[in-house]
Amino acid sequence: MAPMGPEGMPWEQYLVDEMADTTEFASEGPHTVCFSNAGVNNPWRVVGYTNMTEEVALHEEIGEFIHVDAEGSDDKQIADIADLLAGGNCDILIVSPNTTAALTPAVEDACEQLPVIVFDRGVETDCPVTFIHPVGGYGFGIQGAQFIADNVDEGANVLMLRILPGVDVLETRYSAGRRILDEAGLNVVGAEFTDGDNANTKSIVEDYLQRGTIDAVWMDAGATAVAAVEAFEDGGYDIPVFVGEDQQDFLQKWNDLDMTAIAPTYPTYQWRTPIIAAVRILAGEPVPGPEWVLPQPAITQETLNNFIDASMPPLHYAMCGCEEMPNYPQAWGGVQ
């Protein structure tokens, strides 16, 4: 399915052709854009939030950008949203919810007062003007598992590594991946939780290597992918087919070791989109809605070189759509 929108700018593209009318929100600038953020508590959100602030800097119409960080707490985020509404300064509210069910009532309250944009994780109401998100967990899981199925023989041993149970986007990645692997007749030797910890990941892979061969590794997130690769490297084993993610360290490892690999992404460029949407909504221009589904490309051998940048930090998410922005790479922690 070809995305609609400007070529080469996936953060402005959309997959579902349905527009939300926003003429009622048109107003004179400069605007105050408020953002209630679930947290900046992992490298993915650090990169994403940097994308967002840099996007804000591109728009003169935005007079003030108010960011409140919920630090990963539902309670704090509910209070944050109430405070922003009570303050009365916001022209539009962007919400990246910490959890879906808990934040739904707060978002509903906000909808009654001003236009709301939700992105990343969703809420159980369609009152926001638009809900911005990439294709999602199933797509992520399928891309990686299909790559494995295409590159190993039937009956091959696959190790699945997961961060932790009970997070919806990760569960969907796993269930989709698992289904593809099972249907392809592959032997899933284990599905282990790593807690997203490098040392844990490396230990688990070492343990599996002592018990038998591994022909492919599927991961639901790539932050610990390099540790998993190192377990093979340090033990003197051939590196199997690998599913990582778009973190710089994994991409570089992939290139250095000439691995057979793929990097599905949950693109951090989705943090640019809410700002673009906010500006359009306040200008009364239509935006994709009630859902703005962004494309979610995977990095493959063919495109790998476009994303490798040794000057960026190890956990920089390469699918950031930020390379052309004015303060790249310093703002993202890279060296010029």
Partner 1 sequence: MNFLKRAAPLAILAAGQVYVIVSGGFDLSVGSLITLVVVGSSMLSNNDPNATWWVISVMFGIGLCVGLINGLVVCYLKVPSLIATLGMMITLNGFVFLWSGGAPRGYLPDTFRFFGRVNIMDVPLIRMLPVALIMLVVVGFILYWLMHRTNLGRMIHAIGDNPHAAQLAGVPVNRVRITAFIISSLSAVVTGILLGGFAGVSTDVGTGYELQAITAAVLGGAMLLGGRGSVPATIAGALTLTAIFTLLNFLGLPQPVRQVVQGLILIAAVALAMYRRKRTGQ
C-alpha to C-alpha distance for 115 and 23, rounded to whole angstroms: 11
3-state secondary structure string across 136-199: CHHHHHHHHHHHHHHHCCCCCEEEEEECCCCCHHHHHHHHHHHHHHHHCCCEEEEEEECCCCHH
3-state helix, strand, coil in the chain (%, to 5): 40, 20, 40
For residue 255, give the 3-state DSSP assignment: helix
Considering the complex, state which of residue 126 and residue 206 has its C-beta at the smaller distance from partner 1.
206
The amino acid that residue 53 corresponds to is: T
Cβ 82 to partner 1, closest distance in Å?
A: 26
Tell me which stretch binds partner 1 (CB under 8 A): 58-66, 177-185, 228-236, 292-300. 228-236
Considering the complex, state which of residue 111 and residue 315 has its C-beta at the smaller distance from partner 1.
315
Considering the complex, state which of residue 290 and residue 333 has its C-beta at the smaller distance from partner 1.
333
> Which residue of 5, 19, 20, 43 would you call a contact of partner 1, by CB under 8 A?
43
Considering the complex, state which of residue 78 and residue 228 has its C-beta at the smaller distance from partner 1.
228
**What residues numbered 234-293 form the site for partner 1, per CB under 8 A?**
234, 236, 249
- CA 155-161-167 angle, to 5 degrees, is 125
**What residues numbered 197-226 form the site for partner 1, per CB under 8 A?**
197-199, 201-204, 206-207, 210, 223-224, 226
C-alpha to C-alpha distance for 150 and 146, rounded to whole angstroms: 6
**What residues numbered 130-189 form the site for partner 1, per CB under 8 A?**
164-165
Q: Which DSSP helix (H) or strand (E) runs through 230?
A: helix 225-235
Cβ 16 to partner 1, closest distance in Å?
A: 32
Considering the complex, state which of residue 36 and residue 224 has its C-beta at the smaller distance from partner 1.
224
Among 27, 26, 12, 14, CA closest to 275? 12
Cβ 127 to partner 1, closest distance in Å?
A: 32
Sign of the torsion angle spanned by Cα atoms 172, 297, 259, 45: negative
> Which residue of 15, 33, 40, 287 would you call a contact of partner 1, by CB under 8 A?
40
State residue 173 phi and psi, 5-degree precision. -60, -45
Cβ 165 to partner 1, closest distance in Å?
A: 6
Q: Which residues bind partner 1 (CB under 8 A)?
A: 40-43, 45-47, 164-165, 190, 192-193, 196-199, 201-204, 206-207, 210, 223-224, 226-227, 230, 234, 236, 249, 313-316, 333
